[in-house]
Structure 1
Amino acid sequence: MVKKLLVIGFVWPEPQSSAAGSRMMQLIGFFQSQNYQITFASPCAKSDNAYNLESIGVSQVVIELNHSSFDGFVKDLNPNIVLFDRFMMEEQFGWRVAEQCPNALRILDTEDLHGLRKGRQQAFKDGKAFDKTYLFNDVAKREIASIYRSDLSLIISEVEMELLKNNFKVPDDLLVYLPFMLDANSPESIELLPKFHERQHFITIGNFMHEPNYNAVLFLKEAIWPLIKKQLPEAELHIYGAYVSQKVSQLHNKKEGFLIKGFADDVNEVMQNAKVCLAPIRFGAGLKGKLIDAMQNGTPCITTSIGAEGMFGPEVSGLDANGFIEDTPESFADRAVQLYQKEILWIEKQQNGFQVVNERFNSNHFQQKLASIIEETIQQLNKKRQNNFTGQMLMHHTLQSTKFMSKWIEAKNTNKIEN
């Protein structure tokens, strides 16, 4: 019997633009390795950066929000598993899936915890310490409800796993720790990478639709880069990222060596050309794709405590960073200069990055683990749902509220068209 997976995407995957896009392609690759026939559906408009999924045998379907046409579509498809890309898609379509395909396993890929990111951003804006007042925000309430309604939720960071268990009391059996799933850096591939003296300048990279990335570039512009430039007057900072807006473009200054380069056609190439990656993230959540790119391409990195979160393992027993973790502009800049100038130190930090990729994000390990958990959950799905009364309760109320709101919107839109 053919196994079917339906992915309901918040956006169409853009692996060259964002870590979320890379993460989705890793998940699609996993399910293909498990012989699933995959359909990717999204209500989002498709950009030029979207990956052509049909080129790898994945069907692409455009679906509508608040429209009953989805009911017939999902019932006809009759998937074994439905994967929701972020909690917003579970809110929109989860109740429809539950009604039309009650036996389908419902998996939520959180990407990162949106409530955590929102809370940290608000605390940063307020100039206050992040605490439960900021954590227990409206987005978090929606997100945790979505996790309870789902059969499994994929959590990208160990820090977020602990936060969900300790602060929100989410049962362990609803959560699956699944970080980025990466191929190992082989000695042969490492040998081919440009060496210390073959690289120059600094790099930072990130999708500018993501507020933490813009804020980090602003932090570099205003506080960190002038300190680096003073010590390294010939150095340049090359800033890459998709969706460069006017407020980003106006930061470009050739005289200061602060260069907005825009979208990178090949992230690996620009990362390999750079000597040091700068990632002064001041708020956010999840794992940072730019640090993964840096480690895979042998580019040591300076980041912050938020940037390093979940990357290197527990503080006591984790691995050494592929650079330095600094939270003040002065120490951040000094470490960046030190790493830029000292070859032995640079090589040491580069080797740390290769070790982190190979030991903490090994695709073989996590693919086997995920396959085992999915199979076990499918076998015990009814029992699992019976034991999750909170999820049943939230699904009941979602069916009463979201369902009728959606039907009201559909009726309203239909009436507009007829008039």
Structure 2
Amino acid sequence: MAKLRKITVVSQRVPYPPNKGEKLRTYHQIEFLTQLGYCVDVLCLGENTQDSADAKELGKKLDISVTVFPLPHKIKRYSWALLHRQAISVGAFYSSALQKEVNACLINGCDALLLSASSLGYYVFNAANYDDRTCALFMDMMDVDSDKWRQYAESSSFPMRVVYRRESKRIKRLEARANKEFEDTFLIAKEETRLFEKTVSAFKPVKVLGNGLDFSAFFPAPTPANDTNFLFTGVMDYKPNVDAVMWFVEHCWPIIKQSLPGATFTVGGMNPTKEIQQLSERDKAIEVTGFVDDMLPFFHKATAFVAPFRLARGVQNKVLQAAACKLPVITTSMGAEGISYASENTMYIANEESSFIDACVDCVKKTDTAQQLADNAYNALHSTYSWNQQLQPLKQALEKI
């Protein structure tokens, strides 16, 4: 096949603005492809007028075509998934109009189709033109979603345990089939590829396609923070984020405050659950921001960043952002997973309550050590985590078709 010129990207959501995990990742992939000279069309799903406005802005910014397909009501989508014996996350992002468009793309509609999530594989496998396709197929799974649902099942009680197990089983089928039949599949880190080969499929190697960082958006504060403030950021209705914050507040925060009486804790990010919102009512030293236009000022006023993850996998963008701001990071092994420079020389890594508490206190009381770790992480991040560096495997995969 001649060099690819037209690539169609299918995304669960409008990948703009790049202010949360999957949006940020897909946006930078699209930007990278346009910089390489490819003609890029984006097909995405939307639920409201803001999605349509964001799509219009994305199209203007990158000079590309962006088409939004409205999603039916949630009840209709979830009912469809159950009726068709599909994963709930397939139904959550299913549109019959987008199905028709994907079907048309498969035969002479583009040179390559890039899907931004494993659940979107259903659109391709369900297409009438699938067996006669003329375009190359690529899937960015990012994380091993089937394992995420397995983790949810293990940490939940009936009936959600049954729901999550069902989801894990059905998503695993899509992941395995994509690995077998697509030209290439991608995951965010080497640890994810090992997990995939062990628990999903070893039919052929999955390639690592990492996340980078926009260093113009995240950079050190001009002056050090005056007060003791611990920061966590993320979409605050996402189960791993909620679990991390609640574990920290319930098991670590009371003892940290005893050692550091003036300390505050900021939970920054959109869509806080009721459980998260109530934290600031229970404790005046905890601030829950909700949505903010720019998270950088919160990084700049923080003393340290906490990432006490116990669920899910994959590279945590928030940890990279903290490192870019030269903040000391206190995290669990899961929060450090997939970050190439993660070690005891670049961050505090603690999995038990007592060690996590000690790390938070030491970070404030032993400032020289904390700053040295932050400096080491900052230097390592800048040497390896530009988007151009991280996205080279995508470029190489497309050039081989």
Q: Mean Cα displacement is larger for which, 10-19 or 93-102?
A: 93-102
Residue 309 of structure 2 corresponds to residue 281 of structure 1: yes
Distance 2:59 2:178 in 1: 29
SS in 2 for 1:287: coil
- Whole-Å separation in 1 of the counterparts to 2:374 and 2:17: 24
SS of the counterpart of 1:238? strand
Larger-Rg structure: 1
TM-score (norm 2): 0.81
Tell me the residue number matched to 1:213. Answer: 241
> Structure 1 23/246 Cα, relative in aligned 2: closer, same or farther at 3 Å?
same
The aligned residue for residue 54 of structure 1 is 59
Q: Which runs of 4+ in 1 moved over 6 A?
A: 133-136
> Residues 170 and 321 of structure 1: is their aligned pair in 2 closer, same or farther, counting only changes over 3 Å?
farther
Aligned-partner Cα distance in 1 for 2:4–2:146: 37
- Pick aligned residue for 2:212 from 171, 181, 185: 181
Q: Match for residue 382 of structure 1?
A: none
Other-structure match for 1:334: 358
Within 2, Cα distance between the matches of 1:272 and 1:100?
53
Distance 2:357 2:226 in 1: 22
Aligned letter for 1:293?
Q
1:165 aligns with 2:165: no
How far apart, CA to CA, are the structure 2 residues paired with 1:292 and 1:136? 28
Decide whether the 8 Å contact of 1:8 with 1:83 is kept in 2. yes
**Unaligned runs of at least 5 residues, structure 2:** 71-94, 158-164
Distance 2:59 2:145 in 1: 29
* Structure 1 residue runs without a partner (length 5+): 127-132, 379-419
Partner of residue 303 from structure 1, selected from 331, 336, 346: 331
State the partner residue of 1:365.
389
The separation in 2 between residues aligned to 1:218 and 1:254, in whole angstroms, is 13
Work out the number of aligned pairs and report it.
363
User: Which one of the candidate residues 222, 229, 238 is aligned to 1:201?
Assistant: 229
Q: Percent identity over the alignment?
A: 20
Question: Is the 2:124–2:130 contact (alpha carbons within 8 Å) kept by the matching residues of 1?
Answer: no
Instruction: Return the alpha-carbon distance in structure 2 between the equivalents of residues 305 and 98 of structure 1.
Output: 44
Return the TM-score normalized by structure 1: 0.77
Kindly indicate whether the alpha-carbon contact (under 8 Å) linking 2:184 and 2:207 is maintained by their aligned counterparts in 1: yes
Partner of 1:32: 34
Q: 1:402 is matched with which residue?
A: none
* Within-5 A mapping of 1:132-151: 137-151=169-183
Quote how far apart the aligned CAs of 1:237 are: 0.4
* 1:3, distance to aligned residue in structure 2 (A): 1.4
* Distance change >3 Å, CA 203–CA 184, structure 1 → 2: closer
CA shift, 1:177, in A, is 0.7
**Deviation, structure 1 residue 320:** 4.5
Go from structure 1 to structure 2 and tell me whether the alpha carbon gap of 1:73 and 1:166 turns closer, same or farther (over 3 Å shift): closer
Report if the CA contact (8 A) 2:108-2:135 is conserved.
Answer: no
- Offset of 1:142 from its aligned partner? 3.0
Name the residue aligned to 2:377.
353
What residue is the counterpart of 1:258 in the other structure?
286
Aligned: 1:152 with 2:184: yes
Report if aligned partners of 1:253, 1:259 keep a CA contact under 8 Å in 2: no
Cα deviation code 1:64-83 (max 9, x no counterpart): 72346425753697111111
Q: Which residue does the alignment assign to 2:295?
A: 267
Show the counterpart of 1:83.
Answer: 114
The Cα shift of 1:27 comes to 0.6
Give the aligned residue type for 2:139: L
Residues 47-79 of structure 1 deviation map (CA, whole Å, 9 limit, x = unaligned): 747563112212211237234642575369711
Secondary structure of the 1:43 match is strand
1:288 CA drift (Å): 0.8
Q: Is the 8 A contact 2:179 2:204 kept in 1?
A: no
Which residue matches 1:123? 154
Compute the displacement of 1:9 (Å): 0.8
Query: Which amino acid letter does the alignment assign opposite residue 121 of structure 1?
Result: Y
Q: Which has the higher contact order (CA 8 A, sep 6+)?
A: 1
Partner of 2:320: 292
What is the alpha-carbon distance in structure 2 between the residues aligned to residue 103 and residue 76 of structure 1? 5
Aligned partner of 2:135 among 96, 100, 104 = 104
In the alignment, which residue of structure 2 is the partner of 1:325? Answer: 349
C-alpha distance in structure 1 between counterparts of 2:33 and 2:227, whole Å: 38
**What is the Cα deviation at residue 222 of structure 1?**
1.1
Contact 1:181 1:366 in 2 (8 A): yes
Shift of 1:136: 7.4
Give the Cα separation in 2 of the matches to 1:197 and 1:260.
19
Q: C-alpha separation between the residues in 2 aligned to 1:16 and 1:62?
A: 17
The secondary structure found in structure 1 opposite 2:288 is: strand
The farther-off stretch of 328-337 and 146-155 is: 146-155
Post-superposition shift, 1:106? 0.9
1:373 maps to amino acid: A
Q: Write the distance in 1 (CA, Å) between the matches of 2:134 and 2:108.
A: 13
- What's the counterpart of residue 66 of structure 1? 96
RMSD: 3.1
Q: Relative to 1, partners in 2 of residues 1:166 and 1:226: Cα closer, same or farther, differing over 3 Å?
A: same
Distance across 2 between alignment mates of 1:31 and 1:273: 35
**Secondary structure of the residue that 2:326 maps to in structure 1?**
coil
Q: Secondary structure at the match of 2:152?
A: helix
2:46 aligns with 44
